[in-house]
Chain A
């Protein structure tokens, strides 16, 4: 969000208006609410609270309500304000517990600030907190990763996400990869495996490719994506999946603020997509659920291909499901694309 083009209050008003419109249009109940995009905390606690209250009323939300926060852009009373508006989960954009690494990623808050955020959130009554760790970032080593993991464990949060830095064409990282001192492919893979083992040993379940949770603390909202369920996204770049259609708002705030319609993005929910999404989960693709959804059995071809990967220890196949192993998660793009495309 850029403050020069539109004030935070104006933006909040646009979101509220859009909520009303959508409620009129589709009028249904929602059980989770997620304010994401990295730094929704930027618009301030009051605006966040206003949006959450209205959404809760309109869509009758009575479950998980998450707000993403950037520790370096947050007011002191933020957590208290949003907690009063029934926000019950905080996703804190930490990326690394090592200050030098975080600085290279453009995050100015130091480790003490993160600890403060966790303390403040808890004081406000929100103990369902998730921290994220980036893997394969400039200057990172196995040792420095251990530091981040230990920090997460010591903080006692019940949920942790881990993402690998992806060098996408067009980004600074992509063009400067050579001089950034990035860990190589093997090291990054080892980091991922280490992280998974370490968190599992400490009572977390590696329930999705990049997500770890203590029992009962899985992210309910994100699980909807992987289960092929519906969701409505409001705001620039927000994606939706409603009644079989996928659509999204364009990236610029301007077109959202003047009420432009979202852009159609084809239909969703077909078999391939479902397989792709479910294989991200530890639970994997359950044959019975697949049958109930599509009224047919999973093709033998997919199962046969999966068995080839099983020999390499990347997939487990049994009578009820196909699921990726930890090593399989690391190679999920290749495995999934092999399974679903001829």
Chain B
């Protein structure tokens, strides 16, 4: 199977969310007859239900397409689909590193958006050849010429001969394939004779095969029977199978050679052993240097995850274990809460990642969960010089011993039509943002740069931004580093008892406002009980907000339905069962909605 490297093209598709990435991928599959039309489900590459519903790609995927171009040659096109959210930036960067080029999709009516730019810069960082494509020309509001001019102005990419397509109707898709062949370079630098260096751009767990490692072979070759070695961890495995990802199946192959994209299986037990970004080599003929760019991704956002029913603790642990098989970025360790019992402290890349994991736990594992307020990692410098990294308010030290605190700060860019500048600046100001820069990318679109504390954007920043800009603003961020900050810990007391699960760390300027809101929300969502319940929010011992939940007055089933005693009994049983599902804090019963309400304060 001697293949001509000249005929291989490795590429990604990059786009702002909703600009049609998955749909274009579908059309490419169809056009290359990689998938029979009858097997075509919408957005084939997004194979998790969640991905289709949310319209985003969560995991990277890859597929090999065979295309006979107009020059008469048969080409092997490897499409590597990248995740489409800032939470997964590292995965995106590894997928891009596996390619020589990227197809950049721009919506013919919306034009350049935040992630268009962010992803383009990321692709340029990896020296990728960028092939712009103007999509959605079927829309009434489409203005491909204006958008093409915008791409040239803003990004500086030659765009006048970019294919104008409609991925939805399939119009002009072939032009995209021809562009990929003509503009994206073949992996000619890849050399079969060198020691193996294959970049892991994704790995997924399969019940039968163990971990399936998706790689781009940069140098060398690999085949079944070789001893593969992960260069970051040193772990070694005997290769069971190598092959290619086709649209609807895996196609095993004799070997993978330099320049190719494919998979390796080797009875690997967890994706943690084949992390994204790591380099695979062989023990027989090892490479001396790994490929650049590996880093272990660290969770940025933490929260407690507890089963609503304590009896589900074991099930939750099993579920997390299974999810982690497929998601090296998810971390979890057991923790206990006086309020919530036994659960886990979980770490996530961002809030979207958190929501996805939570939804998968609830849907795929049928678990009822209570999650605590998400927290970032704070660095607390104590007077004795020690530095604590705190991701759980419970571990917040006594303020008397704190010298100073630091919190993570992000560099954020917001792109929007200029009429929303005021609204965006107000929002960033409210979120303790520091204005850095504003540039007009076009006469009526601006790029506003702010430094924003991560803890101000993890809850609901993007949602609020969208609502205040009628959905027109887009947003992107990266971590800048830690900066000194004036932090305090807020405690929630119900009937005088602190509820650990509701504590959180906040900037002191925000403490009073938030405390008042929390008290109001709790009053609204905790049902009246047999006695009056003071709701207090305190910093240290000082109460800064207070509400009172009045005692319940009436809970009586007066009418007897002609001797229907069973019905009465069932009602009381149901009532008691309902109470069991509530969380007990001392004598106070708190329904789960109350926790959720505190999380979503700004709605």
Which residue numbers of A lie inside 8 Å of B, CB to CB?
36-37, 162-164, 166, 185-186, 188-189, 192, 209-210, 222, 225, 231, 233, 237-241, 246, 248, 265-266, 268, 272-273, 276-277, 309, 312, 314, 329-334, 336-338, 340-341
Contacts and interface: CB of A to CB of B under 8 A. Distances in A.
A225 B560 contact: yes
Contacts of A192: 554
Contacts of B269: none
Given A185-B528, A341-B572, A334 B563 contact: no
Contact of B563 (A163, A240, A276, A337): A240
B565 interface: yes
A265 B566 contact: yes
B562 A166 contact: no
B317 to A, nearest CB: 27
Nearest to B573: A341
Nearest 4 A/B pairs, CB to CB: A189-B553, A337-B572, A210-B558, A341-B576
B3 interface: no
A237 B564 CA distance: 9
Given A185-B528, A312-B530, A340-B572, A225 B555 contact: no
Given A337-B572, A337-B576, A268 B558 contact: no
Interface in B541-594: 550, 552-566, 568-569, 571-573, 575-576, 579
B573 A36 contact: no
Contacts of A330: 553-556
B440 interface: no
Nearest to A266: B566
Contact of A337 (B528, B550, B565, B575): B575
A209 B573 contact: no
A192 B568 CA distance: 21
Nearest to A309: B530
Chain A CB within 10 Å, residue with most, of B531, B552, B557: B557
Contact of A334 (B552, B559, B560, B566): B552
A246 B573 CA distance: 18
Given A276-B572, A334-B552, A237 B562 contact: yes
Contacts of A309: 530
Contact of B559 (A166, A189, A231, A314): A166
Contact of B530 (A231, A246, A331, A340): A331
A276 B563 CA distance: 13
Contacts, number: 99
A189 to B, nearest CB: 4
A233 B563 CA distance: 8
A238 B563 CA distance: 8
Contacts of A276: 568-569, 572
A176 B212 CA distance: 57
Contact of A273 (B531, B569, B576): B569
Interface residues of B, number: 27
Given A185-B528, A312-B530, A337-B573, A332 B566 contact: no
Contacts of B572: 276, 333, 336-337, 340-341
A74 B575 CA distance: 40
A331 B575 contact: no
A341 B574 CA distance: 11
A268 B562 CA distance: 15
Contacts of B558: 162-164, 166, 209-210
Contacts of B565: 225, 239, 241, 246, 268, 273, 277
Contacts of A312: 530-531
A164 B556 CA distance: 8
Contacts of B561: 237, 239
A332 B555 contact: yes
A237 B565 CA distance: 13
B560 A222 contact: yes
Contacts of B568: 276
B554 A163 contact: no
Contact of B562 (A37, A163, A164, A332): A37
Contacts of B556: 164, 209, 329-333
A134 to B, nearest CB: 10
A334 B528 CA distance: 12
B555 to A, nearest CB: 5
19 contacts: A163-B559, A164-B556, A166-B557, A186-B553, A189-B553, A209-B556, A225-B560, A239-B561, A239-B562, A273-B565, A276-B568, A276-B569, A312-B530, A314-B530, A330-B554, A332-B556, A334-B552, A341-B573, A341-B576
B553 A334 contact: no
B550 to A, nearest CB: 8
B196 to A, nearest CB: 64
B578 to A, nearest CB: 10
A201 B579 CA distance: 38
A188 B552 CA distance: 12
Contacts of A338: 576
B564 A334 contact: no
Given A186-B553, A276-B568, A276-B569, A333 B562 contact: no
Given A225-B560, A225-B563, A340-B572, A333 B555 contact: yes
A338 B566 CA distance: 18
Nearest to A248: B564
A341 B560 CA distance: 21
B557 A333 contact: yes
A11 B555 CA distance: 38
A214 B453 CA distance: 72
A336 B531 CA distance: 16
